[in-house]
Amino acid sequence: MSATATVEDLGTRIEEALRLRFAERAAAAERYGTDFVALWQTAAEHATGGKLLRPRLLLDLLRALSPHGLSKDETQRAIGIAVDVEMLHFAFLLHDDVIDGDLLRRRRPNLIGTLAQRHGVDPSEPVLHWARSSAILLGDLLLTSATIGFARVDASTDTRDRLLALLEHTILETVAGEHADVALSDGVITPDLRTILATSAHKTATYSFVLPLRAAAVLAGAAPAAEEHLAAIGGHLGLAYQLQDDLLSVFGDADRHGKDPFSDLREGKETAIVAYARMTGHWPSIELRFGTADLTPSEATDMRDRLRECGAEDFVRGLVQEQLAAASTVLAEAEADGTLPPAVAHTILQLASRIEGRSE
């Protein structure tokens, strides 16, 4: 038992395991030429050094679900799965950036931007094409790597089967969400509120919240009822998180959240805020400049003010509260019927309060 391992220790160990995974891949890439090795090294730079929210959530929950602590082997196995979850996250980000045509993420060059800039400050169209194609192909490898990681987990057949089924469901649902998100932004499907909320839940909540929580339940050998409760809680928290993200992009402090200010308004992103505004009398005046790439800061500020006046901000803040309350209700039920131990409630409530007070 290594119940003395602190939260900081685990964070460091996840980071180390992630670096090791990329180093192994870069070594395996050597026989395919320096260009391919460079791709892996660039990937490692972009995939490490982050907050590791998903791996940490998985390990925090697993510890909370394991009152007698975790053995060395159990910790090792959980770190492996947590790294796979992070690889999956990075794969989704890469394909998302290709689909969105983005060269930046949080105002810094993303993998595509970094690769392209190696060939000059103002990369040619062929260089950009090569950089984007690199991101598609690297995403394919990371997706495969995460799936094979789950398949190779050193656990009982039952645990392995549950983890694989969980991963399969997660990838299907995330891709379905991303597919709907693209259809919304390309105007191929109707941007009603119900579709937008389902899309947010599928695209973000499923792999960022439900997957880590359910994987922790499976690794802890928890009963199916515990896993189901955690799935419901993860769905609510994940949707709250995504809605907060939408609110921050429009109403937040760009110096704190670090994103490109008002990028959602310039890109014409179909969020719950916009779906609500569409149903109000303010929409015609908002619509005029919504989704225009050359939106000026003063126009964006105006648009933000109108989104506030029409009630969209309050409405979406209300949705966040509803989702957080729904998570608390499921948690209380699970505690009452003994499905989830108090340590889990503590971890979940901390997470909920971080989502509620989020400014970055």
Residue number, 12 or 144, with CB nearest to a copy of itself: 144
The torsion angles phi and psi of 50, rounded to 5 degrees, stand at -90, -170
Q: How far is the CB of 197 from a copy of itself (least distance, A)?
A: 13
By CB neighbour count within 10 A (0-12 exposed, 13-18 middle, 19+ buried), where does 331 fall? buried
Give the span between the Cα atoms of 179 and 309, in whole angstroms: 32
The amino acid at 252: G
Report the residue number, 133 or 285, with the smaller CB distance to a copy of itself. Answer: 133
Cα 245 to Cα 101, 258, 321, 341, 354, distances in angstroms:
20, 12, 14, 30, 13
Q: Which of residues 33-62 bind a copy of itself (CB under 8 A)?
A: 33, 35-36, 39
Contacting range for a copy of itself; rule: CB under 8 A; set: 42-50, 65-73, 172-180, 222-230 = 172-180
Round to whole Å and give the CA distance between 139 and 141. Answer: 5
265: Cα separation from own chain's centroid = 21
* Neighbour count for residue 301 (Cβ, 10 Å): 12
For the bound state, the minimum distance from the C-beta of residue 313 to a copy of itself, rounded and expressed in Å, comes to: 28
Q: How far apart are CA 207 and CA 306, in angstroms?
A: 33
Question: If binding is defined by CB under 8 A, does position 176 make contact with a copy of itself?
Answer: yes
| CB proximity list for 10: less than 8 A, separation 6 or greater | 56, 59, 75, 79
Residues in 104-163 that interact with a copy of itself by CB under 8 A: 119, 126-127, 129-130, 133-134, 136-141, 143-144, 147-148, 150-152
Residue whose structure tokens are 């090791």: 20
Determine the Cα–Cα distance for residues 67 and 102; give it in Å rounded to an integer. Answer: 44
- C-alpha span between 343 and 270 (Å, rounded): 38
Handedness of CA 350, 353, 355, 357 (dihedral sign): negative
- Which token pair is 258? 């670090």
Q: Residue 198 CB, nearest distance to a copy of itself (Å)?
A: 8
Q: Stretches 41-49, 180-188, 223-231, 314-322: which one binds a copy of itself (CB under 8 A)?
A: 180-188
In the list 45, 168, 309, 314, the residue contacting a copy of itself (rule: CB under 8 A) is 168
Tell me how far, at minimum, the Cβ of 165 lies from a copy of itself, in Å: 9
Tell me the closest approach of the beta carbon of residue 36 to a copy of itself, in angstroms: 5
Report the residue number, 140 or 158, with the smaller CB distance to a copy of itself. 140
Applying CB under 8 A, among 46, 77, 202, 269 the residue interacting with a copy of itself is 202
With CB under 8 A as the contact rule, the residue among 86, 173, 245, 246 that binds a copy of itself is 173
What number of chain residues touch a copy of itself (CB under 8 A)? 51
208 binds a copy of itself (CB under 8 A): no
- Render 289-333 in DSSP notation, one character per residue: TTT-TT--HHHHHHHHHHHHHTTHHHHHHHHHHHHHHHHHHHHHH
Nearer to a copy of itself among residue 130 and residue 251 (C-beta)? 130
Q: Is 27 in the site for a copy of itself (CB under 8 A)?
A: no
**SS3 of 123, please?**
coil
For residue 95, state whether it binds a copy of itself (rule: CB under 8 A): yes
Which residue in 62, 83, 166, 171 binds a copy of itself (CB under 8 A)? 171
In angstroms, give the least distance from the CB of 7 to a copy of itself. Answer: 32
Judged by CB under 8 A, which of 44, 104, 164, 345 binds a copy of itself?
Answer: 164
Instruction: Write out the residues near a copy of itself by the rule CB under 8 A.
Output: 28-29, 32-33, 35-36, 39, 91, 95, 98-99, 119, 126-127, 129-130, 133-134, 136-141, 143-144, 147-148, 150-152, 164, 167-168, 171-173, 175-180, 182-183, 186-189, 195, 202
